[in-house]
Amino acid sequence: MKQIAIVGSGTMGNGIAHTFAQFGYQVNLIDINEEALHHAVKTIGKNLDRQVTKGSITIADKEATLSRIHTTADLKAGVSQADLVVEAATENIELKLNIFRELDVYAKPEAILASNTSSISITQIAAVTGRGTQVIGMHFMNPVPVMKLVEVIRGYATSDETTNQIMAVSAKLDKVPVEVNDYPGFVANRILMPMINEAITTLFEGVAGVKEIDTVMKLGMAHPMGPLQLADFIGLDVCLAILQVLQQGFGQAKYAPCPLLINMVMAGKTGVKSGEGFYDYSQGIKEANVASKFLNQ
């Protein structure tokens, strides 16, 4: 594998592009939104600068990495030469099914089509293509250049050959791939999202404040970040979308998203990317005024 195409240049897409390019792959980064592409390249530059400052890469490595990343809004041109396409577009099933229908037409017949989806069925995505054996989940964690795990999700039809190739390419990125089967939320989000949802419900019910909940989990459970801040980093819209997939997929009330989460997403308070979630990121990080929005306050 030499040529990689990444579809979607948001939080995850720019990190995935950064990582492949850093390890010598040629990357086409594709987005329908030109502004998002512009923002992604700026973010990659800043993150590479941080690696230079830490001494983990040289300035020459930074320049070489950036030179391997090409951006385009043209999906067909962007994927036509790719050996591997990693889709990291918005977590919405219809949107992803449409992208995979197009990828099946535009990508080389031998290309592997991977999705970075947090929760949507790989089996369902594969079924809209004519190459189900070559469709797989490649679930990177945020921030991609830093986090070691790649959750590799085998759909019902995914072949051993495809799985082995994705395990191998993940290892070449200095990641640790873990193979799991395709059920809602896979492993990572099936466990993480109910915890985040419970933290939001704990806040919503007035059991404790934002900082208190996060501090309990940081100092008491040795989590590096509290669940509310983690939700802000993931994106509250992404958290909501994953919980809805779990709720529909398992048909159990325990996955129902907290009304506070739904309200915050509807109000556009999606966390770090919007500047505010449970914390306000406009001037440093301070607690946002979430409690005043509760029904009983």
Ligand X SMILES: NC(=O)c1ccc[n+]([C@@H]2O[C@H](COP(=O)([O-])OP(=O)(O)OC[C@H]3O[C@@H](n4cnc5c(N)ncnc54)[C@H](O)[C@@H]3O)[C@@H](O)[C@H]2O)c1
Among 44-52, 61-69, 82-90, 216-224, the segment contacting ligand X (CB under 6 A)? 82-90
Residue 243 interacts with ligand X (CB under 6 A): yes or no: no
Size of the site for ligand X (CB under 6 A): 27
Residue 177 interacts with ligand X (CB under 6 A): yes or no: no
Residue 262 interacts with ligand X (CB under 6 A): yes or no: no
Residue 99 interacts with ligand X (CB under 6 A): yes or no: yes
Contacting residues for 64 by C-beta, under 8 A, at least 6 apart: none
Q: Indicate the burial class of 206 (C-beta count within 10 angstroms; 0-12, 13-18, 19 or more).
A: exposed
Residue 121 interacts with ligand X (CB under 6 A): yes or no: no
Among 28-36, 163-171, 178-186, 191-199, the segment contacting ligand X (CB under 6 A)? 28-36
Q: How far is the CB of 205 from ligand X (least distance, A)?
A: 26
**Alpha helices, H only, the chain:** 11-22, 34-54, 59-67, 75-79, 93-106, 122-127, 160-172, 188-204, 210-215, 221, 227-234, 236-250, 259-266
Q: How far is the CB of 102 from ligand X (least distance, A)?
A: 8
CA distance 11 to 290: 24
Residue 8 interacts with ligand X (CB under 6 A): yes or no: yes
Please name the helix (run of DSSP H) or strand (run of DSSP E) that holds residue 286, with its range, or none.
strand 286-287
Rule CB under 6 A: which residues touch ligand X? Answer: 7-13, 30-33, 36, 88-91, 95, 99, 116-118, 139, 142, 234-235, 238, 273
